[in-house]
A and B are shown apart, each in its own frame.
Chain A
Amino acid sequence: MGITRRGLLLVVCMLGVVLYRPQPLSSCGPFFARAAFTYTVHPDFPLEQFAAGALGVLQPTYARSYLAVAYRYLMGTGFNEAEQKALVALWRDRLVSTVESNAEEWTKVWLTARNTVPGIAAVARIDVFRAWGQYSNYLNCPADAFTTAASTLRRLQERFGPESPAVRAWVQAQDGVFGKCSDGANLTVPPATDPQLRADSAYQRATAQFYSGHFDAAIAAFEAIAQDTASPWRALAPYLIARALVRKATLGAEEGKVDIAVLAQAEEHVHKILADSAQREMHPAAGRLLQFIRFRSTPTPRLHELAQALLKQDTPATLQQDLTDYTLLLDQSLGDGTGAAAPAATANATVVKDDALGDWIVTFAATDQAALAHALAQWEHTSALPWLVAALTKLDASHEKAAPLMAAATQIQPTSPAFASVAFHRARLLLQAGKKDEVRTYLHTVLAQGKEALPVSAANWLRAVRMQMAGDLDEYLTYAQRFPSGITYDEDGRELPTQLFGVATGDVTESLPASGMQAHFDADAVMLFNQAMPLSLRKEAALRPILPAHLRRELALTSWVEAALLDQVAVAQELAPVVAAQMPELKPYLDAYVAAPSQDAKKSAAVFLLLHYPGTRPYVDEGVGRLTPLDQIDNFRNNWWCGWQEKSTTPDAEGDGHPGNPLSKMVRAAHALDFLTAAQKAAGHAEVQKLRALDTAPNYLVVQVLAWAQRTPNDPRVPEALHLAVRSTRYGCTDAKTTQFSKQAFQLLHKQYPQSPWAKQTKYWY
């Protein structure tokens, strides 16, 4: 027998197929896009609005820089256009700027110039950070070092020619200087006869000492330069001596500590510069250095100085740095309890006791009873608007001071920067006092105000309060739907959009939903849909024209799923054509459900639909919800539903590690819907209990399919259903029991339907 070449080739190919093992397929996170209806740590974007005085409903959890800005507006002083730009620049720096990215830009200036010098190898990058102590580093070579070097190179090239050996030698020495930024080798500076080159070399040696951390040697070198009347660096030298002293004080000591005595020397030196009119060119830089020094040498007096400076108007040149320093000093004194963390109790805030701005910021953010008492006392003493807002924010309707504060609140006009905050708390307190009719009337007027008075999040806060007083279903639905202020993946808890100030802050490769900025249901509305409203009423809501089409679709589908799961056949029958009209792709499955002759057959038809559409679930999603198409498996396993979870122990109502905003909790506490009858409430409660008893989706679906297969083994849909059920155990919300269900479905499929194409496609259980 001979072997043909074709046969051998076939064997080789089979070998290749058998022996090839494909690599296995298939972030904290992952994070989904979510609608931000309100924010916890910052106001609405764009921040230019807030800088211009559109304060919205001020949150105690806002970062301190926003509260400082709010205080000025509430005091009636505000900020001019140039100051507003400074504020936005500060927030831009804090939210998106990174020192390592800036450093890349700084070094480019020098490297671009330096790499054009012929005869020397190009340098790709410079490390601008140097180790400090055992664990940390510091920015050793900032921007001005590189711009100065680039301009010096230009000067030398103009004088000596671009290909001059002198220029090359200077550049090579400068490479050595910049090597000291991180941890370079010894510097070699060739001797020079030309006086200017000698002066430049002396400066290179001095800066090398500076960057190497040899501060005493650097000071001595700069002192010599300061005496050299021929040196172009003479005017700069005294300032650099001060810089060297500052570095010696802050970097020469133990990590994290400051040598106050040396810092005092630095301050004395800076004062000499500022007192010398001959050094007026260096006065702005010296002034900034003095602020740097005093931030560290006398933080408490500096805090008070800054508090005063921030209340002065028309200070665009210093506002950004002053507010930066002020909030950093507050953080240092009180802890960085900004935004989500537990705010400092007022009892600990003695450092701001005599500082009007700091006192208000700390009191507004604090949540203890002492903060309320202090806010009330300040309001009574000053009648100032910031204290009215602070007191209202903390007040309970039963407090003895509620009446006078509410009376004062009625005087606040829509043109006031406090309007949104006061309106919200006034409504909240009226609701607490049970004055629902008054709230309805009041909010009707308030919500008619335009965007100038009510930024988007402010309107959402007010709608949340209004929703709780809905007198009927239409009223409820009117206020349940809200427009998001933004869309965020919120990967780091800062609630940022994916791009801010032209910088990516989130995964821009994920396409944001086109529907994102449409109206959606917020968490409070969703909670009431899912935990209080009976199915019969949700069915009606799905038909209400007051809702936009996409929300009617969401309600119709989730209600149908719930009805099918709970065997509420009449409701499911009624909803089936409604869903089919809105989602034609489901029509064949829904028609099969309607036509099914028995309850069991209907359950099978429902399960068949669910298996084909992993996006189906018996509850309404908040915000933009699941964005993966309904019929597709979501890569992050957001498919079908999970079993009911016991109450989380986290303090965060949203359950995503975002510490709860106290106002959020106040508003989002589940209230019974007053317009529900007792029977409707009871029905809603019973339905919720039944839903909670359902197993997690993969387990449930497999059990249903197994029962279906047993009842009607010859149903041609059964093999496909078994295949899809096994798939659900891979991509759904699994638990310890899921594997056994997966195996049962797998084995039944292969045992009873071995020739079915579905068996061939089902190679594993999970």
Chain B
Amino acid sequence: MAGVRASRKADGWRAYRCRLLLGVAVGLLLAGLFLSPFSLREKGRVRGPLPAGEGARDASLPLPRVMLWAWERREDMRAIDPRQVGVAYLAKTLFLRQGNVVTRPRLQPLQVPPTTVLMPVVRIESDKLSPPTLDAGQRTRVVEEILALGRASITPVIQIDFDAKISERAFYRTVLYDLRRALPDTTRISITALASWCLADHWLAGLPIDEAVPMLFRMGADRQRVLWHLQTGGALRCLPTQQSLGMAADEPLPHGLPGSRLYVFNPQAWSSASVHSALEEVKRWE
């Protein structure tokens, strides 16, 4: 009879354990249903701008309202007023070629007034003929190259310029996360963005970046749609807490967005006249 009792006790424990597990499972299931985007309770949830993710940080960057991009050409910008204008200069370009990263540092001199706020820009390009592998080794190398710049630079902000295709977004996302972990807290991350990324494509949400600058120039296929969007009063906000825009000196926008930090690209070397025009453009938007 003891054996029967023991057996029944064992059976009871097994039954209890099963019920316990089932209860936990159902509880988790119900929790998931409430939290899931497929919730039956919440039909047709709008795919609007997503809230800032865990990676987003304070949007106030220590940069002037107008930043001039100084690209790979000889730039003598000593005539700028550093109280009004900062310089985002191309510091290096990284070419992703099969499994390699080929680096081209800036090879043209840059002259600026001593107190100018400077931001190094790292451009990343995928080789067209030998597409990158986007593997872990390549990713590590990209991060190392960017970090090398950060260590050498005294700027509080680094900008990454990468027109990542959809197939490259996972790679880019991981690069940004790796970079964020490796950079000191005092160094912020800004990225350039295609205009379409900030319209109805929300892949930037949750990235550990402090600024995303939609480039409203040389938009190619997106141009008509973006200009229409701006013309009809649409907002162009890449991150919920911050708004910056990029334009080209030879492609002024018919509509601006007040309150933006404005980055300006010039297809030619900057001159006093073109700097003045850029500042006038900012005033036009106010």
Chain A positions within 8 Å of B, measured between CB atoms, are: 2-3, 7-8, 11-12, 14-15, 18-19, 21, 23-24, 26-32, 98-101, 104, 127, 129, 131-139, 255-256, 335-337, 340-341, 491, 493, 498-499, 503-509, 635-638, 642-643, 645-646, 648-652, 655-657, 659, 696, 730, 733-737, 739, 743, 746-747, 750, 762-766
Contact = CB atoms under 8 A, between A and B. Distances in A.
Given A28-B215, A136-B106, A656-B223, A636 B196 contact: yes
Contact of A99 (B107, B225, B252): B107
Contacts of A636: 196, 221-222
Contacts of B131: 509
A23 B166 CA distance: 12
A311 B175 CA distance: 53
A98 B26 CA distance: 61
Given A19-B28, A133-B109, 16 more contacts: A14-B29, A18-B29, A30-B194, A30-B220, A129-B105, A131-B105, A137-B105, A256-B74, A340-B250, A504-B127, A637-B196, A650-B250, A656-B220, A735-B232, A743-B46, A765-B47
A224 to B, nearest CB: 32
B91 A135 contact: yes
Nearest to B170: A23
Contact of B18 (A8, A337, A652): A8
Interface string B5-24: 00000000001001101100
B270 to A, nearest CB: 12
Interface pairs A-B: 9 shortest CB-CB:
A27-B163, A504-B128, A504-B129, A256-B109, A31-B220, A18-B32, A735-B232, A137-B105, A28-B218
Contacts of A764: 44-47
A677 to B, nearest CB: 32
Nearest to B254: A649
A28 B217 contact: yes
B25 A12 contact: yes
Nearest to B112: A135
Contacts of A24: 202-203, 205
Contacts of A135: 89, 91, 106, 109-110, 118
B240 interface: no
Given A18-B29, A98-B104, A255-B109, A28 B232 contact: no
B76 A256 contact: yes
B221 A736 contact: no
B115 interface: no
- Secondary structure type dominating chain A contacts: loop
B109 A735 contact: no
B232 A30 contact: no
A746 to B, nearest CB: 5
Contact of A336 (B22, B227, B268): B268
B234 interface: yes
Interface in B153-203: 163-166, 170, 194, 196, 199-203
Contacts of B45: 764
A137 B106 contact: yes
Interface in B210-255: 215, 217-225, 227-229, 231-234, 248, 250-254
B36 interface: yes
A659 B228 CA distance: 21
Contacts of A19: 28, 32, 36
A336 B269 contact: yes
Nearest to B108: A136
Nearest to B11: A2
Nearest to B43: A750
B251 A734 contact: no
Given A341-B268, A750-B43, A645 B105 contact: no
B228 A657 contact: no
Nearest to A19: B32
A645 B227 contact: yes
Contacts of A657: 217-219, 223, 248, 250-251
B22 A735 contact: no
19 contacts: A2-B18, A24-B203, A99-B104, A100-B93, A129-B104, A136-B105, A136-B109, A336-B268, A336-B269, A341-B267, A636-B196, A637-B196, A642-B228, A649-B253, A652-B251, A657-B223, A730-B200, A743-B46, A765-B46
Contact of A637 (B104, B163, B222): B222
B103 interface: yes
Given A636-B196, A735-B234, A11 B111 contact: no
